Chain A
Amino acid sequence: MKRILLAIACLLATALPALAETPLKIGLVAPFSGPFADYGKQMDAGIKAYMHQHGDTVAGRKVEVIVRDTTGPSPEIAKRLAQELVVRDQVDFLAGFGLTPEALAVADIATQAKKPMIVMNAASSVVTTKSPYIARFSMALPQVVAPLASWAAKNGIRRVFTLVSDYAPGIDSEAAFKKALTEAGGEVVDSIRVPLRSPEFAPFIQRIKDSQPQAVFVFVPAGEQGIAFMKGFQERGLGAAGIKVIATGDITDDHVLDVMGDVASGMITSFHYSAAHDSPENKAFLQAYEEVAGGGGRANFMAVAAYDGMNAIYQVASKLNGKIDGDKAMEILKGMKFTSPRGPIAIDPDTRDIVQTVYIRRVENIGGHYFNVEFDHVPDVRDPGK
């Protein structure tokens, strides 16, 4: 009898404060070192910005973000970290995932542990299909590529040369662009896939010049290669020959745009977020971002995705009164709708993927800084890759 009483006392002692006081734990798995270190930093700052604005408690539970570094494209480490977060730290949500392979490797863990997995970047179409517990708040690559092709065809750009990096995202975007352009009555005159590690763009650019298209569609990893391409493009006078450059917005990422400078000037891109987007939500976001990560450069699309992912987590937590259950959380995430700093977004109940407005923008110099200025948009775009 005594023993039973003791057991009950123990149970009460552990269970009661558990509801009121155990923090709501979110495991953030992203690269914080290595070549993709910026990804982690942007996401972390986006999450902090949201918590800065909306407080660090939700539904009576304190929110605790546990940050884990995958050290670069390293799926096995990402998977291990996610497993440890689930088993050891008993997190309520998995979040982050900068790179597709890391997201794909972790999908299994989300399914096994029934933990909602909030994807804040990884942009291959296939990501959301790998686990019923994945919801994506960033974008799918074809989602921003297809509107660009239709926009081009509509505006008289019908003969396009495509140049993409020879890896899965590049090949996906080449296919999506070709499909959308052909459907809209245009034609891809030639396609080149350049090696992922390509020190020399000159020969490729010469080929483009020799085939004289109206525009060239480019998809290469942001940063070095984007800059190298634009330099070669200008050096060889393709712009003067009347060839336009169109691309997805990661090449003119807000975070690196100022470094690219006038090389990128006038470039037309399609994307879901620009720091120059004019809305009260975006102003509030940028201000909060500046306050938590001031001096760290401009916020980019990953910070916004993290900010929105955090918004979703708060909504789920308050609807469930702080008691997170994987399946119930997914029911709430499916069909979720709100206004993000990028504009209106929603989660498709069937695919758990994001539905959002895609903007067509042009790089312009505003007060000494370069921005992607939106001048056209396509609302409610779904991932056409599924």
Chain B
Amino acid sequence: MAASVLGVLFDGVAYGSLLFLISVGLSVTMGLMNFVNLAHGAFAMAGGYLCVALMQRAGMPFLATLPLVFLAIALVGAALERTLYRRLYDASHLDQVLFSIGLTFMAVAAATYVWGPNQQPVRLPGFLRGQIHPGGVDLGAYRLFLIGLVAATTLALHLLMAKTRFGARVRASVDNRAAAAGLGIPVDRIFVLTFALGTGLAGVGGAVGIDVLGLDPTFPIKYMVYFLLVVAIGGAGSIKGPALAALLLGVFDVAGKYYVPEAGAFIIYGLMLTLLAFFPRGLYGRKA
């Protein structure tokens, strides 16, 4: 019994870590630029497809593709920010929602056109497959890898935000954009860099997520709710909030499925409604 509880907890944390990795960029864009970007999942999908393409066409090993995926998707994100997104910073949330839904539809159709509607397979290296059994608990090797990767990324993000000049500027811009700009902080550049960072992380999330979440053209729509939930429950603009929210969601989802499979998808929505009823601005909401 204790072993099964630990196993479920472990799976939930791994799942939550993945959600966090993909969603953290969305949280920052929403907090920083006040932009509701429903197309965020499309960047994750692009990362996944790039990873598959690099492995299949160029024969690269799985782990080696990840840095490349990060850079490429970050560049794509920066380019889109420069050309399209920035025109809508002052637009209403409604316009932003429509714009990003439009982008999502285009991404879905384009992915179907290039890769077809089927699921893409990913072949993990041998040392990431199978399970290890410390103390009678079954731990999936890949899930362990996921947790490690995300923990390292989160630590790096935290240090970046807390200890560097860049981080200080981002925090200042989130708190008060106008004042930050008035103090001579190059808000424009901060926006591009943050957006690129967020999309790049989503790309990596999409790549390492293929094995857990799958990869097909409807990915951005299928998981849109989950990403939005992480941000809404966590509160936009922080790292702590989404991290906590993603872990909560992951653990509840997995535990719910293990112990009460009859309840199906209701657990996650129930959790969402309860949390939003008590914390309309999210667990770590900053602004009114």
B218→A227 contact, CB < 8 A:
no
Verify B118–A259 contact, CB threshold 8 A: yes
| CA–CA, A204 and B212, complex, Å | 14
Which among A37, A199, A236 is the interface contact of B140 at CB below 8 angstroms?
A: A236
Report the Cα distance A120→B272, complex, angstroms: 42
| Alpha-carbon separation in the docked complex, A193 to B260 (Å) | 10
Q: Verify B264–A166 contact, CB threshold 8 A.
A: yes
CA distance A116 to B264 in the complex (A): 40
Contact B264 A228 (CB under 8 A): no
Q: Which of A229-275 contact B (CB under 8 A)?
A: 231, 234-237, 256, 259-261, 263
Assembly CA distance A198 to B213 (angstroms): 9
Interface residues of A (CB under 8 A from B): 35, 37-38, 166, 192-195, 197-200, 202-204, 206-207, 209-210, 223-224, 227-228, 231, 234-237, 256, 259-261, 263
Question: In the complex, what distance in Å separates the CA atom of A37 from the CA atom of B138?
Answer: 40
| Structural contact, B140 and A235, CB atoms closer than 8 A | yes
Known contacts A231-B211, A236-B138, A197 near B121 by CB under 8 Å: no
- Contacting residues, chain B, for A166 (C-beta < 8 A): 264
Known: A35-B218, A199-B222, A223-B118. 17 other contacts (CB 8 A): A37-B117, A194-B264, A199-B213, A200-B11, A200-B212, A202-B140, A203-B11, A204-B257, A204-B258, A204-B261, A206-B8, A227-B214, A234-B129, A235-B131, A256-B118, A259-B119, A260-B121
Q: A256 — which chain B residues lie within 8 A by C-beta? A: 118-119
Central interface residue in B8, B129, B257, by most chain A CB within 10 Å: B257
A319 → chain B, closest Cβ, in Å?
Answer: 39
Inter-chain CA distance A267–B255, complex, in Å, is: 29
Instruction: Indicate whether B188 reaches chain A with its CB closer than 8 angstroms.
Output: no
- How far is B223's CA from A145's CA once the two chains are assembled, in angstroms? 32
Interface SS of chain B: helix
Q: Is the CB of B119 within 8 A of A237?
A: no
Task: Select B142's contact among A198, A223, A235, beta carbons within 8 Å.
Answer: A235
Nearest-neighbour CB distance to chain A for B93, whole angstroms, equals 26
Contact assessment for B131 and A206 in the assembled complex, using a CB-CB cutoff below 8 Å:
no
Instruction: Annotate B214-233 by CB proximity to A: 1 below 8 A, 0 otherwise.
Output: 10101000110010000000
Q: List 30 A-B contacts (CB under 8 A).
A: A35-B117, A37-B117, A166-B264, A193-B264, A194-B257, A195-B257, A195-B264, A195-B265, A198-B257, A199-B212, A199-B226, A200-B253, A202-B11, A202-B143, A203-B257, A203-B258, A206-B8, A206-B11, A207-B258, A210-B4, A223-B118, A227-B121, A227-B214, A235-B131, A235-B140, A235-B142, A237-B130, A256-B118, A256-B119, A263-B121
At the interface, yes or no: B254 with Cβ under 8 Å from chain A?
yes
* 6 tightest Cβ-Cβ pairs between the two chains A and B: A203-B258, A195-B264, A203-B257, A224-B119, A195-B265, A224-B214
**Chain B interface extent, by class:** 35 or more
Q: How far does the alpha carbon of A261 sit from the alpha carbon of B118 in the complex, in Å?
A: 14
Instruction: Kindly list chain B residues whose C-beta atoms are within 8 Å of the C-beta of A195.
Output: 257, 264-265
Taken together as a complex, chains A and B put the C-alpha atoms of A58 and B222 apart, in Å, by 46
B49 to A: closest C-beta gap in Å: 15
The minimal Cβ–Cβ distance linking B105 to chain A, given in whole angstroms, is: 12
**Residues of A with C-beta under 8 A to B254:** 200, 202-203
Q: Are B130 and A199 touching (Cβ within 8 A)? A: no
Contact A192 B130 (CB under 8 A): no
Given A192-B261, A193-B264, A260-B121: A199 touches B214 (CB 8 Å cut-off): yes
Q: Is B15 interfacial (CB 8 A cutoff)?
A: yes
B7 contacts A by Cβ under 8 Å? yes
CB distance from B122 to the nearest CB of A (A): 9
Please name all residues of chain A whose beta carbon is closer than 8 Å to the beta carbon of B15 when the two chains form the complex: 200, 202
B98-121 near A? 1/0 per residue, CB < 8 Å = 000000000000001000011101
- Which B68-84 residues have C-beta < 8 A from chain A? none
Closest to A261 in B: B121
- Which residues of B sit under 8 angstroms from A198, Cβ to Cβ? 257
CB distance from A267 to the nearest CB of B (A): 16
Q: How many whole Å from B9's CB to the nearest CB in chain A?
A: 11
Contact between A197 and B265, CB atoms less than 8 A apart: yes
